[in-house]
Structure 1
């Protein structure tokens, strides 16, 4: 429409220019022709040597009448021999037309010279210059009217087109928005519009979105099934021996403080023999359910190692609580025995190991077997506890609380930053590791995080760390990005959520340089609170990550709701990659994240061989000792 109106306006102005120019010249010709019929009689009676004042005035009046000053800049009469007779000059500026228009449009004056003849005798010469003042005035009026009329037409037409096609634009906007967010799953189908052509496209979009959602669920389910086949006991639903050993290795590298329990019972064999296989399988499921209900500590790993053996790993647990846990577990089996109809009595023995110092997995498993042997030698108790002989005296709750208070008040925290590196060797972020340095005593996060969770003061600790890192980012624009771990107790604290909302809203300028990492267990056990916290973080465009990705056997569908920027793969999957089963599971869970455009970062990568193997398994980046070769760790 704009093009058509522009062409129409241009054509009208072009034609008008030539018409007005021609009319300007034609008017001058008419005036000259009229003058040639009037002036011969007046000039023939004049004497070229003597002309009276009265005759001069009459000629001036005649010329002004024939050639109005408004239209002619110059008019003059000469005798036939070119002797000057009368000259009139009327130079006037064009005041009713803008100067810029006169500079843009050129309409020249019209000059003409005619011989005045009377009865075949030349009696004089007429010279004149027709002013372009009239032509400029006419053309300016035409230009203004044309421009205004076409602008009004354009505006009216645009409004009409907008009103007519508003409904179409609404449907197209919805389609455009859905196209930008086509990879966001779980979206409601678009409503079908009235327009038949757009309706076909909307149907195609809805079908594509549905298919993407189906494909993701299929991938997630495949990953779960592969993990279950590799690491899950099919009857109890608990982790198997391989899974438990991997979790021990991971825990020892992280913290090496806490407790383990090894449970051996004759109850299951007795059930299989006396009640049959169906009853035996049902009993195993009952035991697993009771263990999951009773043991509610964070990061707990419960596994079935063999037909009659179960094992429990609880990081950061005190020896007193470990003994209490053993009694609770023993009571579970005693209750089942008392409610059963078995003929022969069944026995249950529990070996407990508590450690605080560094120890190898093989040494730990040996101590666990020794503890179980001791339990069998004391049938009146059925529980035996072995404390790590190399462990140091453990701080109590109040001592940990006092230490943390002092660390915050006196700023005794030290921070180490470990890079997470992408495939192109660029640093994606630096994960913040916190420690406490008091005099000559050094306490790593693995030592005091358990106490923090136990005391429910994670929010208190997290606020201090977050404020410290935020202040550092504001003070120096060249550092970062940093990734801060959030404790589980903070996620369930509404006051922490409100506090973080306010803090992030006031520091959006550092959003691109700060990530927040949450544990996978929080996404599974505290889904609503985790989703709320992540939505607040994303509202201000800060980054979100999930740590210990794939550790738990629940569905990976939480990824769709949380939609993190990255996940950090649990060490159990990145250790011993020569195991084909483990590699297959790792590839599957990474592919699930990859389908949502989520970066999968492998943790504790230590060797070039391990790095090369990971590059073939949908892993986007890596973190661990290998990155320290490329980037110097910073300690503050």
Structure 2
């Protein structure tokens, strides 16, 4: 529309200029013709060589009448031989037209001469110079009126087009926003607009979004099936022996403090023998369901090791609670035995191991077998506990609480930082590991986190660490990014989320240099609280990560809801990469994260061989001793 109006304006102004110029000339010609009708009889006196003053005055008056001063710069009468007789000059400046317009547009004055003839005799000459003042005035009026009218038309047309196109623009804006967030699968289908052309595009977008969602779910389900094949007992739905051993390895590397239980029962074999395989399978599923109901610890691992053996691992569990748990498990089997109609003698034995030493998985499994053997030797109790006699750590829960309070009040915390490195060897972040230094004793987080979670005081600890790290980031803009682990008890604490919301709102300047790392179990068992916390963190543009990714057998579709920046792969998948089945599982769960543009970071990478194998399995980065030794910083 602007182009059309621009061309129209140009044409009108050009045509108007020519018309005014032609009118300027034709007006002069008309005035001279009128003068030639009037002057001949009067100019007969020009035959005389001398004229009187009165005659000269009459001629001047006639010339002023015929050629007004406002239209002519000068008018003159000459004898037939071009001898000057009378000349009237009327030079006037043009005051009603802007000077810039006169400089831009040139309209020259028009000079014209005519012979005056009387009775076929040439008696004199009329010479006039038509002023361009009139032409400038006319053309300025035309110019300004044309511009004003076209600007009005342009404005009115623009408003009309805006009103007509407003719906189109709104649909296109929604379409653009959806295109920018096409990788976000948590989106409802777009409503169909009224415009037929855009409606086709919206249908295509909705179909594409739906297909992406289906592909992600299929990929997540494929990853779950691969994990189940490698690590799941198909009957009970619990982890198998291989999964349990890997979880023990991971736990021993993290904290090595906690309890284990090995359960062996003759009930299952008797069911299979007397009631058949269908009844035996049903019994195994019943036992698994009851174990999951009773063992409510977030980080517990329950596995079926063989036909009649079950095992349990609970990190950071006290020996007292382990003993209590053994009795509860025994009660499960006792109740099932009472409700069965098997006549043969049924025995259930439970071996318990409380560990605080850094042992190997095989050493720990040997202790479990020894505890089970002891339980069988005391049939009147059926439970035996082996407690690690080498432990130097005998603090109870209340002592840990007092130590934590003292550490917060006296600032006894020390921080170590381990880098997480991307494929291009750039540092993605430094994970913060917190310990307590009291006199000559050093307590790592793995030693006291269990007590913190038991006492539900994780928010004390988390608040202190978060404030300390944020203060350090504010004080030094060259450090970071850091990743802070958040305890499960803090995630379930609404007051902690409100506190964190206010803190982050006041410190958005460090958002790009701080991540918050959550345990995968929180995403599965505390989904609503975890979603609220993640929304709070991301609203202020801080980062979110998931630790122990893939440890649990639930679906990985929680990634769509949480949408973290990165996940850290559970150690069970990065250990023994020569196993093709385990490599396939690792590749599948990494590909699931990769499809949502989430970085997958392998943990505890210690050798170049591990690094080379991981580079082929959709792993975005790695963390461990191979990247860099822990960096000790001074107390904050």
Band of TM-score, shorter chain: over 0.9
2:68 and 2:475 map into 1 onto residues whose CA distance is 81
Match of 1:3 in 2: 3
Give CA-to-partner distance per residue, 1:258-304, whole Å, 9 cap, x none. 11112222222222222222222122111111111111112111111
Cα distance change on mapping 1:241 and 1:136 into 2, 3 Å:
same
Displacement of 1:451 = 1.8
* Contact 1:252–1:360 (8 Å) recurs in 2: yes
Unpaired segments ≥5 residues, structure 2 = none
Unpaired segments ≥5 residues, structure 1 = none
1:109 and 1:58 map into 2 onto residues whose CA distance is 27
Cα distance change on mapping 1:595 and 1:114 into 2, 3 Å:
same
1:93 and 1:204 map into 2 onto residues whose CA distance is 70
Match of 1:206 in 2: 206
Match of 2:325 in 1: 325
Cα distance change on mapping 1:474 and 1:281 into 2, 3 Å:
same
* Contact 1:48–1:79 (8 Å) recurs in 2: no
Cα distance change on mapping 1:468 and 1:123 into 2, 3 Å:
farther
Q: Which moved more, 1:459-468 or 1:307-316?
A: 459-468
Structure 1 residue matching 2:264: 3-state secondary structure: strand
Cα distance change on mapping 1:20 and 1:353 into 2, 3 Å:
same
1:137 and 1:409 map into 2 onto residues whose CA distance is 89
Match of 2:418 in 1: 418
Displacement of 1:89 = 3.6
* Contact 1:416–1:635 (8 Å) recurs in 2: no
Cα distance change on mapping 1:601 and 1:55 into 2, 3 Å:
farther
2:297 and 2:85 map into 1 onto residues whose CA distance is 123
2:483 and 2:82 map into 1 onto residues whose CA distance is 101
Calculate the TM-score normalised by the size of structure 1: 0.93
Instruction: Map 1:265-344 onto structure 2 (within 5 A).
Output: 265-344=265-344
1:607 and 1:633 map into 2 onto residues whose CA distance is 22
* Contact 2:46–2:79 (8 Å) recurs in 1: no
Calculate the TM-score normalised by the size of structure 2: 0.93
Structure 1 residue matching 2:325: 3-state secondary structure: helix
| Count of aligned pairs between the two proteins | 635
Match of 2:590 in 1: 590
Alignment of 1:139 with 2:139, yes or no, is yes
Match of 1:476 in 2: 476
Structure 2 residue matching 1:7: 3-state secondary structure: helix
Match of 2:348 in 1: 348
Match of 1:192 in 2: 192
Structure 1 residue matching 2:434: 3-state secondary structure: strand
Displacement of 1:237 = 0.8
Displacement of 1:56 = 4.5
Give CA-to-partner distance per residue, 1:108-164, whole Å, 9 cap, x none. 333445555556666555444332222222222222222222222233333333444
1:322 and 1:48 map into 2 onto residues whose CA distance is 146
C-alpha RMSD of the superposition: 2.5
1:48 and 1:476 map into 2 onto residues whose CA distance is 109
1:478 and 1:61 map into 2 onto residues whose CA distance is 94
* Contact 2:45–2:51 (8 Å) recurs in 1: no
* Contact 1:407–1:436 (8 Å) recurs in 2: yes
Structure 2 residue matching 1:297: 3-state secondary structure: coil
Alignment of 1:371 with 2:371, yes or no, is yes
Displacement of 1:39 = 4.7
Structure 1 residue matching 2:622: 3-state secondary structure: strand
Q: Which moved more, 1:37-46 or 1:102-111?
A: 37-46
Match of 1:528 in 2: 528
* Contact 1:417–1:635 (8 Å) recurs in 2: no
Structure 2 residue matching 1:596: 3-state secondary structure: coil
Cα distance change on mapping 1:393 and 1:173 into 2, 3 Å:
closer
Give CA-to-partner distance per residue, 1:145-186, whole Å, 9 cap, x none. 222222222333333334444444444444333333333225
Q: Which moved more, 1:169-178 or 1:63-72?
A: 169-178
1:464 and 1:185 map into 2 onto residues whose CA distance is 36
Give CA-to-partner distance per residue, 1:559-608, whole Å, 9 cap, x none. 11111121111111111111101000011111111111211111111122
Structure 1 residue matching 2:262: 3-state secondary structure: strand
Alignment of 1:604 with 2:604, yes or no, is yes
Match of 1:614 in 2: 614
Cα distance change on mapping 1:47 and 1:123 into 2, 3 Å:
closer
2:108 and 2:419 map into 1 onto residues whose CA distance is 78
Cα distance change on mapping 1:247 and 1:53 into 2, 3 Å:
farther
Q: Which moved more, 1:595-604 or 1:131-140?
A: 131-140
Displacement of 1:17 = 1.5
